[in-house]
Chain A
Amino acid sequence: MSVPLSYTWRNLAARKLTTLLTACGMALVVFVFATVLMLEEGLRKTMIETGSHDNVIVTRRSAGTEVQSLVERDQAAIVENQPEVAYGIDGARLASKETIVLISLAKRDSNKASNVLIRGVGQKGIELRPQVEITTGRMLRPGSTEIIAGKNIAERYKGAGVGETLRFAQREWTVVGIMDAGKSGFDSEIWGDVDQLMQAFRRPVYSSVILKLNDAAAFPQLKSRIEDDPRLTLEAKRESVFYAEQSQVLANFIRYLGMMLSIIFSAGAIIGAMITMYASVANRATEIGTLRALGFRRENILSAFLVEALLLGAAGGVIGLTMASFMQFFTISTMNWQSFSELAFSFILNLEIILKSFAFALIMGVVGGFLPAARAARMNIVDSLRAV
């Protein structure tokens, strides 16, 4: 039977300032750790939800992003007419030949400009993206200079709201609707009629072709046919995979930097926990001796102090996670290094992140508390009883 838990946690409560300061040190580290994971998850969710599993996106071989990709008209026509492409209710193929352009737009609040992605879509463009809904206004009319803006763009950029006008490629474009793409990448895009945009930008080629598969499992055949065709210098990927790969560099950078920082910071918090635990052991030398005299074993003493350190870590974990959960109210907008366009994503907290962060906090507590607990366990009974 070990030392009662009430003894351990009441000792923490007896020194409130010290317990609080130590826990706060650890809480800050947990906050950084959790926030980085939440950022990564937000990024991942945005990228993954940008693509559907049963959609295929065809781009120029090894283009990496749509921005760098060029698909000639005749190639696009071949791709469009593949047998695996599904048909819509009206009998037309569910395919959209699209062109991507980057333009510079001024932000609403700061006048700073950022690159925004404009996507010329075919008539089936919006149908191919079930996650996209027009929440305000209406869909653009094909053949017109009407455009719709993703939620993020409408909020953040001048002239991108419903009824407002943007000027680019020497023309005026009117925003007639706002789309909500369920936190996917399309929230950060502007869509227009592909033919109008190609004319305005004097682009004779497409960037990509989006297809919906009539059978999601038929992808491998479609892929090999397209990629083996000598007339086409194209490659095909599932839309979800394509977008996930797009944010790879950014995601990796965030994860690498975040983990490095968390580990370095945790050194500081662990040192804080060690200082506190050493003081705790020193202050309770007589108690430790008394417990040993009464018959409690060294292991009992060791675990009592380890539990104390664990509780400190747990307190840090709870405080840190609470702080981190507030980050869910924020959205980050940055440039995706691979596609060179604006990307907005938020912080997402899920159970896995909570568990990981809490475990991290507990580990910090144990690492910090281990040496002091060992010292407590190793104390000589007579000497500790004599301590003042």
Chain B
Amino acid sequence: MENASKSIVEIRQLTKSYRRGGQVVPVLTNISFDIMPGDFIALMGPSGSGKSTLLNLIAGIDKPDGGSLKVNGIDIAALPEAELADWRAANVGFIFQFYNLMPVLTAFENVELPLLLTTLSRDQRQERVELALSMVGLTDRMTHYPSELSGGQQQRVAIARAFITDPLILVADEPTGDLDRASADDILAMLVRLNSEMGKTIIMVTHDPHAAKSAHSIRHLEKGELDVMPQR
């Protein structure tokens, strides 16, 4: 039966394997599921279960071996590399465990990076960056380099960078993995706000059950297969 609201991520029979020293290791086996717009999903599972791989596929930085993967109706697996890059720039926001900020760029410049791929003018970019940084509460740290910021602050910069282009989906790979409890809660609260107030669809990979509680639903991946356990 067709859903009344279209899913933003539609995965059917997705498979992915890796080659390790001559051997072919299957990571994902025939996964199928949907993500609705405005969902906040936590992907959990033991190490090697393929949760990061699934995240990478949805984010368009890896290609599946088989099956179909549609984001907002577009079959991203079929896009050639250059167009896929453009697609990511417009539609995906990334949040990494180790923040992945450019150490030689200031907080402002790091947040500005994705906007350099658009046609916005200098002044327009400046406006948006300042706004984004104020939303994550780092206006007074704009000109600081990552080495001058705490872990929590760096992750907040990363979050600002992630939503600056107003993407369809945000993918977060262990966003609180390198943070202490207080900072972690900070970050999770921000993600929740992004989801509830700005309606961003968030897919988060985590091994921390406490972090997973912030999400709407939790899905478990084990040996490349999905289990569903709705949170609320």
Contact = CB atoms under 8 A, between A and B. Distances in A.
A294 B109 contact: no
Contact of B61 (A6, A10, A286, A293): A293
Interface string A279-305: 000000011011111111110000000
Given A4-B109, A6-B109, A382-B56, A287 B102 contact: yes
A1 B121 CA distance: 12
Contacts of A329: none
Given A290-B94, A292-B61, A7 B114 contact: no
A1 B117 contact: yes
Given A1-B116, A290-B96, A381-B62, A295 B56 contact: no
Given A7-B102, A287-B100, A295 B90 contact: yes
A43 to B, nearest CB: 47
Contact of A295 (B89, B100, B103): B89
Q: Which of the four size classes fits the interface of chain A? A: 20 to 34
Contacts of A7: 102, 104-105, 109
Given A7-B105, A382-B61, A286 B100 contact: yes
A11 interface: yes
Contacts of B86: 295
A385 interface: yes
The DSSP consensus for interface residues of chain A is helix
B104 A295 contact: no
Nearest to A4: B116
Given A287-B102, A296-B85, A381 B90 contact: no
B128 interface: no
A17 interface: no
A124 B87 CA distance: 84
Interface in A1-30: 1-4, 6-7, 10-11, 13-14
Contacts of A10: 104-105
B227 to A, nearest CB: 24
A295 B114 contact: yes
B88 interface: yes
A294 B161 CA distance: 9
A3 B104 CA distance: 13
Contact of A293 (B81, B88, B98, B103): B88
Contacts of A293: 59, 61, 88, 92, 94
Interface string B117-161: 110000000000000000000000000000000000000000001
Interface residues of B, number: 28
B159 to A, nearest CB: 14
Interface centre among A6, A13, A298, A385 (most CB of B within 10 A): A385
Contacts of B116: 1-4
B113 interface: yes
Nearest to B86: A295
Nearest to B18: A382
Interface in B54-78: 56, 59, 61-62
A285 to B, nearest CB: 11
Interface centre among B88, B104, B113 (most CB of A within 10 A): B104
Contacts of A296: 85, 89, 117
Given A4-B116, A10-B105, A287-B102, A294 B88 contact: yes
Contact of A297 (B82, B98, B114): B82
Contacts of A4: 105, 109, 113, 116
A97 B60 CA distance: 88
A294 B102 contact: no
A298 B105 contact: no
B118 to A, nearest CB: 8
A127 B94 CA distance: 83
Contacts of A382: 56, 61-62
Nearest to B81: A298
Contacts of A381: 61-62
B49 to A, nearest CB: 16
A143 B118 CA distance: 87
A82 to B, nearest CB: 74
Contacts of B98: 286
A290 B98 CA distance: 11
A14 B117 contact: no
B62 A14 contact: no
B203 to A, nearest CB: 14
Contacts of A298: 81-82
Nearest to B112: A4
A133 B90 CA distance: 75
A287 B103 CA distance: 9
A75 to B, nearest CB: 78
Nearest to B62: A382
Contacts of B105: 4, 6-7, 10
28 contacts: A1-B116, A1-B118, A2-B116, A3-B116, A4-B105, A4-B109, A4-B113, A6-B109, A7-B104, A7-B109, A14-B103, A286-B98, A286-B100, A290-B94, A290-B100, A292-B61, A293-B61, A294-B88, A294-B89, A294-B114, A295-B85, A296-B85, A297-B81, A297-B85, A298-B81, A381-B61, A381-B62, A385-B96
Leading 7 A-B pairs by shortest Cβ distance:
A295-B89, A10-B104, A290-B100, A381-B61, A295-B88, A1-B116, A297-B85
Interface of A: 1-4, 6-7, 10-11, 13-14, 286-287, 289-298, 381-382, 385
Given A290-B102, A295-B89, 6 more contacts: A3-B116, A295-B87, A295-B117, A296-B117, A382-B56, A385-B100
